[in-house]
Amino acid sequence: MPSTQAHLDGTRTEYFDVQCSEETLQALLRETFEVNWRHVTFGPCIEGAVFEGRFGGKPRLSLLDGYATVEVPGSDSWHFHLCIGPHRGSASLPTPPGLAQWRRCTRAAFFRNLDTGGRASAWGVRLWNGRGEQMLTVFFPNPWIDPVRQRFVAEPDWSRLELWMRARERFTGVPAETPPANAQPPVTH
Protein backbone atom coordinates (compact mmCIF):
# COMPACT_ATOMS: atom_id res chain seq x y z
CA MET A 1 0.00 0.00 0.00
CA PRO A 2 1.59 3.29 -1.04
CA SER A 3 1.82 6.30 1.20
CA THR A 4 1.12 9.74 -0.24
CA GLN A 5 2.79 13.07 0.48
CA ALA A 6 0.87 16.24 -0.43
CA HIS A 7 2.88 19.27 -1.56
CA LEU A 8 2.17 22.99 -1.17
CA ASP A 9 1.48 23.43 -4.91
CA GLY A 10 -1.27 20.78 -4.95
CA THR A 11 0.89 18.03 -6.42
CA ARG A 12 1.46 14.71 -4.63
CA THR A 13 4.08 11.99 -4.43
CA GLU A 14 3.18 8.34 -3.93
CA TYR A 15 5.80 6.25 -2.11
CA PHE A 16 6.26 2.47 -2.18
CA ASP A 17 8.62 1.54 0.66
CA VAL A 18 11.61 -0.78 0.33
CA GLN A 19 13.06 -2.82 3.19
CA CYS A 20 16.16 -0.96 4.42
CA SER A 21 18.52 -3.84 5.11
CA GLU A 22 22.10 -3.51 3.88
CA GLU A 23 21.57 -6.54 1.62
CA THR A 24 18.42 -5.13 -0.01
CA LEU A 25 19.86 -1.64 -0.49
CA GLN A 26 23.07 -3.05 -1.94
CA ALA A 27 21.05 -5.14 -4.43
CA LEU A 28 18.94 -2.09 -5.34
CA LEU A 29 22.01 0.10 -5.90
CA ARG A 30 23.76 -2.63 -7.93
CA GLU A 31 20.75 -3.11 -10.18
CA THR A 32 20.35 0.64 -10.58
CA PHE A 33 23.97 1.65 -11.16
CA GLU A 34 25.83 -1.45 -12.39
CA VAL A 35 23.08 -2.82 -14.64
CA ASN A 36 20.84 0.13 -15.61
CA TRP A 37 23.29 3.05 -15.33
CA ARG A 38 22.66 4.19 -18.92
CA HIS A 39 18.96 4.72 -18.21
CA VAL A 40 18.92 6.64 -14.92
CA THR A 41 19.56 10.19 -13.79
CA PHE A 42 20.41 10.80 -10.15
CA GLY A 43 21.39 13.24 -7.44
CA PRO A 44 19.79 15.17 -4.63
CA CYS A 45 16.32 16.51 -5.44
CA ILE A 46 15.08 18.97 -2.84
CA GLU A 47 12.96 22.09 -3.05
CA GLY A 48 15.13 24.70 -4.74
CA ALA A 49 17.79 22.31 -6.08
CA VAL A 50 17.89 19.32 -8.39
CA PHE A 51 21.14 17.66 -9.45
CA GLU A 52 20.79 15.48 -12.56
CA GLY A 53 23.90 13.34 -12.83
CA ARG A 54 24.74 10.50 -15.18
CA PHE A 55 27.77 8.28 -15.44
CA GLY A 56 29.72 8.35 -18.72
CA GLY A 57 30.94 4.78 -18.18
CA LYS A 58 29.77 1.69 -16.33
CA PRO A 59 30.08 2.31 -12.58
CA ARG A 60 31.01 -0.24 -9.94
CA LEU A 61 29.65 -0.50 -6.42
CA SER A 62 31.89 -1.39 -3.47
CA LEU A 63 31.10 -1.60 0.23
CA LEU A 64 33.28 -0.60 3.20
CA ASP A 65 32.21 0.01 6.79
CA GLY A 66 28.56 0.30 5.80
CA TYR A 67 29.23 2.77 2.99
CA ALA A 68 28.39 1.91 -0.63
CA THR A 69 30.68 3.71 -3.06
CA VAL A 70 29.53 4.09 -6.65
CA GLU A 71 32.28 5.07 -9.11
CA VAL A 72 33.65 4.39 -12.58
CA PRO A 73 36.76 2.21 -12.09
CA GLY A 74 40.03 3.71 -13.31
CA SER A 75 38.44 7.09 -13.83
CA ASP A 76 39.20 10.41 -12.23
CA SER A 77 35.52 11.28 -12.47
CA TRP A 78 33.46 12.01 -9.42
CA HIS A 79 31.82 9.34 -7.30
CA PHE A 80 29.50 9.17 -4.31
CA HIS A 81 29.12 7.34 -1.00
CA LEU A 82 25.89 6.27 0.73
CA CYS A 83 25.73 4.79 4.22
CA ILE A 84 23.50 1.71 3.84
CA GLY A 85 24.75 -0.59 6.59
CA PRO A 86 26.36 -0.73 10.02
CA HIS A 87 29.00 2.00 10.29
CA ARG A 88 31.59 1.80 13.06
CA GLY A 89 34.46 4.00 11.93
CA SER A 90 38.05 2.97 12.67
CA ALA A 91 39.86 1.91 15.83
CA SER A 92 41.53 5.32 16.03
CA LEU A 93 38.32 7.23 15.19
CA PRO A 94 35.24 5.21 16.13
CA THR A 95 31.87 6.56 15.03
CA PRO A 96 29.54 7.39 17.93
CA PRO A 97 26.33 5.29 17.75
CA GLY A 98 24.09 8.37 17.40
CA LEU A 99 26.11 9.63 14.44
CA ALA A 100 26.12 6.17 12.82
CA GLN A 101 22.33 6.04 13.19
CA TRP A 102 21.98 9.51 11.64
CA ARG A 103 24.16 8.61 8.63
CA ARG A 104 22.56 5.27 7.78
CA CYS A 105 19.74 4.96 5.24
CA THR A 106 16.58 4.25 7.22
CA ARG A 107 14.03 4.73 4.46
CA ALA A 108 14.05 3.91 0.77
CA ALA A 109 11.03 4.09 -1.49
CA PHE A 110 10.07 3.98 -5.11
CA PHE A 111 8.04 7.06 -5.96
CA ARG A 112 5.67 8.43 -8.54
CA ASN A 113 5.03 12.20 -8.74
CA LEU A 114 1.46 13.24 -9.57
CA ASP A 115 0.38 16.63 -10.91
CA THR A 116 -2.66 18.50 -9.52
CA GLY A 117 -4.95 16.41 -11.76
CA GLY A 118 -3.46 13.11 -10.55
CA ARG A 119 -1.46 12.45 -13.74
CA ALA A 120 1.95 10.85 -13.17
CA SER A 121 4.88 13.05 -14.19
CA ALA A 122 8.04 11.37 -12.80
CA TRP A 123 9.10 7.94 -11.53
CA GLY A 124 12.08 6.99 -9.41
CA VAL A 125 13.51 5.79 -6.12
CA ARG A 126 14.61 7.89 -3.15
CA LEU A 127 16.74 7.25 -0.02
CA TRP A 128 16.70 9.10 3.33
CA ASN A 129 19.04 8.95 6.33
CA GLY A 130 18.21 8.43 10.01
CA ARG A 131 17.08 12.03 10.40
CA GLY A 132 14.79 11.94 7.38
CA GLU A 133 17.20 13.96 5.21
CA GLN A 134 17.26 13.01 1.57
CA MET A 135 20.40 11.15 0.53
CA LEU A 136 19.66 10.43 -3.13
CA THR A 137 16.95 10.53 -5.77
CA VAL A 138 17.18 8.37 -8.89
CA PHE A 139 14.91 9.23 -11.82
CA PHE A 140 13.93 6.33 -14.08
CA PRO A 141 13.00 6.66 -17.76
CA ASN A 142 9.85 8.72 -18.23
CA PRO A 143 7.22 7.83 -20.87
CA TRP A 144 6.53 11.54 -21.40
CA ILE A 145 10.18 12.52 -22.04
CA ASP A 146 12.17 11.72 -25.17
CA PRO A 147 15.39 10.14 -23.87
CA VAL A 148 17.55 11.63 -26.63
CA ARG A 149 16.24 15.20 -26.72
CA GLN A 150 15.25 15.28 -23.01
CA ARG A 151 12.05 17.09 -23.95
CA PHE A 152 8.39 16.31 -23.27
CA VAL A 153 6.46 14.50 -26.00
CA ALA A 154 2.75 14.59 -26.92
CA GLU A 155 2.35 10.79 -26.99
CA PRO A 156 3.83 8.67 -24.19
CA ASP A 157 6.02 5.63 -24.79
CA TRP A 158 4.86 3.36 -21.97
CA SER A 159 7.71 0.91 -22.58
CA ARG A 160 9.95 3.45 -20.83
CA LEU A 161 8.20 2.54 -17.54
CA GLU A 162 9.25 -1.13 -17.71
CA LEU A 163 12.47 -0.60 -15.74
CA TRP A 164 10.69 1.24 -12.89
CA MET A 165 7.81 -1.27 -12.81
CA ARG A 166 10.17 -4.26 -12.78
CA ALA A 167 12.43 -2.78 -10.07
CA ARG A 168 9.48 -1.64 -7.94
CA GLU A 169 7.96 -5.12 -8.13
CA ARG A 170 11.26 -6.79 -7.22
CA PHE A 171 11.99 -4.54 -4.23
CA THR A 172 8.48 -3.75 -2.93
CA GLY A 173 6.30 -6.60 -4.17
CA VAL A 174 3.91 -4.17 -5.91
CA PRO A 175 2.98 -5.67 -9.30
CA ALA A 176 3.25 -3.74 -12.55
CA GLU A 177 0.21 -1.72 -13.60
CA THR A 178 -1.43 -1.28 -16.96
CA PRO A 179 -0.77 2.17 -18.43
CA PRO A 180 -3.79 4.47 -18.29
CA ALA A 181 -6.02 4.54 -21.36
CA ASN A 182 -6.35 7.94 -23.05
CA ALA A 183 -3.59 9.41 -20.88
CA GLN A 184 -3.17 13.15 -20.94
CA PRO A 185 0.26 14.76 -20.56
CA PRO A 186 1.03 15.84 -17.00
CA VAL A 187 1.15 19.53 -16.15
CA THR A 188 4.70 20.40 -15.12
CA HIS A 189 6.65 23.58 -14.58
Backbone angles phi, psi at 133, to 5 degrees: -85, 135
Which has the higher per-residue pLDDT, 185 or 9? 9
C-alpha closest to that of 106 among 69, 66, 138: 66
Helix axes 162-172, 22-29, angle to 10 degrees: 170
Q: Could you tell me which residues are beta bridge partners of residue 108?
A: 18, 127
Backbone angles phi, psi at 84, to 5 degrees: -120, -5
Residue 145 neighbours by CB distance under 10 Å: 19
Cα dihedral 16→22→127→105 (10° resolution): 120
E-assigned strand segments in the chain: 3-6, 12-18, 41-43, 45-46, 49-50, 60-64, 67-71, 80-83, 105-114, 120-129, 134-139, 145-146, 151-152
Query: What pLDDT is stored for residue 189 in this prediction?
Result: 66
C-alpha closest to that of 167 among 50, 33, 59: 33
In this model, does residue 142 exceed pLDDT 80? yes
Range 49-69 average pLDDT: 95
Average pLDDT, whole number, for the chain?
94
In this model, does residue 106 exceed pLDDT 70? yes
C-alpha closest to that of 112 among 124, 103, 104, 102: 124
- 15-26 pLDDT tens trace: 999 999 999 999
- 70-96 pLDDT tens trace: 999 887 778 999 999 999 999 999 999
Secondary structure of residue 139 in the 3-state scheme: strand
pLDDT band at 148 (very low <50, low <70, confident <90, very high): confident
pLDDT band at 179 (very low <50, low <70, confident <90, very high): confident
